[in-house]
Amino acid sequence: MTRDSAADASAFATGTGIGSWPGSSAREAAEVIVGELHRLPHLPELPGRGIGADLIGRAGALLVDIAIDTVARGYRVANGRSAVTRRAVSFLAEDVDALEEAWEKAGLRGADRTVKVQAPGPITLAAHLELSNGHRAITDAGAVRDLARSLAEGVAAHRAEIARRLECPVVVQFDEPSLPAALEGRLTGVTSLSPVHPVDESVAAALFDECVEVVGGAAALHCCAAGLPWALLHRSAFSAVSFDVSTLTADSLDGVGEFVESGRTVMLGVVPVAAPERRPSAEEVAGWVVDLTDRLGFNRAVLPGRIGVTPTCGLAGATPAWARTAIELTQKAADAIADDPAAILK
């Protein structure tokens, strides 16, 4: 590890959600999240509201001096402030207001609690935003750098605003669901004659480290797709990595272990995003976590400061009832690990 990225890694070593949430009421979402997640609540994202509220649409409210609009295939960089950008800004303002209201209602101003905010990562953003010529922004190295810089500046301002309004520490999560596909050259072009070449790992690493440096404080990368590049992440400035444990392969276990041994945190996605036939207990969820960490050979005494618990991915597709249950299980399992990891049975 070449950066002091472990300094605030323990902020992620608890139960939290990925970000997205079902429904369209920011107020209801914030009240549930603040009420259930007592160490690391997060700003809810409600993609069910439509354009401007999903992962890439959220970027429209965060990018500095870059606007977005919609086209048939998704989002495109726009000339001038568009209606889509204004819609994204409005949704984000609504979400922040709702979080602050829930925070005040719970009497948490000045409390010892950290909040997490989420944003698309620079690779995924460039993979899903079109340029004016119809090609993915990720095919243009200059556009990728400009988007990453604009994103980092916007997320830094967003983080600072939340910290000021809630009077609490704020950590950032960059969502990178398209990272493995981008690195492996699996993104498709607009035609077969315009392929999207693989992103070089050194380019991705530089973009990540710039974003972490500009944003300041602890930052995590989340990806629920298979094929995470653990060697790249180990060299990065990220304090934590969040992933779906079902995507792990035998080859990736060493990468997970080395990341944790570097003093940083892994956030294990173990709670189902849809209601299973039988609801697991919090003890069972905690057992799934320690089953993996036991296989990695970790002394359970290190788990409270190095292991977080999350749903396997975002909860936008869940029912409201299961979304609440999922984060309740997440928090209770994390609490059990923090209280006495040695006592948890697999």
Give the angle 146-68-18 at the CA atoms, nearest 5°.
85
pLDDT for 4 equals 45
H or E, element range at 296: none
DSSP state of 297: T
pLDDT in tens, the chain (346 residues): 434 444 478 999 999 999 999 999 999 999 999 999 999 999 999 999 999 999 999 999 999 999 999 998 899 999 888 999 999 999 999 999 999 999 999 999 888 899 999 999 999 999 999 999 999 999 999 999 999 999 999 999 999 999 999 999 999 999 999 999 999 999 998 776 678 999 999 999 999 999 999 999 999 999 999 999 999 999 999 999 999 999 999 889 999 999 999 999 999 999 999 999 999 999 999 999 999 999 888 889 889 999 999 999 999 999 999 999 999 999 999 999 999 888 887 6
Q: Report the amino acid identity of residue 223.
A: C
Q: Are 251 and 319 in contact (CB under 8 A)?
A: no
Has this prediction a pTM greater than 0.75?
yes
pLDDT for 346 equals 64
pLDDT for 192 equals 66
Q: Which of 163, 167, 179 is nearest to 216 (CA)?
A: 163
Letter string b/e over residues 307-330, b meaning 16 or more CB atoms within 10 A of that residue's CB: bbbbbbbbbbebeeebbbbbbbbb
CATH of domain 9-339: 3.20.20.210
pLDDT for 80 equals 85
Q: How far, in Å, are 121, 243, 278, 304, 334 from residue 1 at the CA level? A: 21, 20, 42, 21, 26
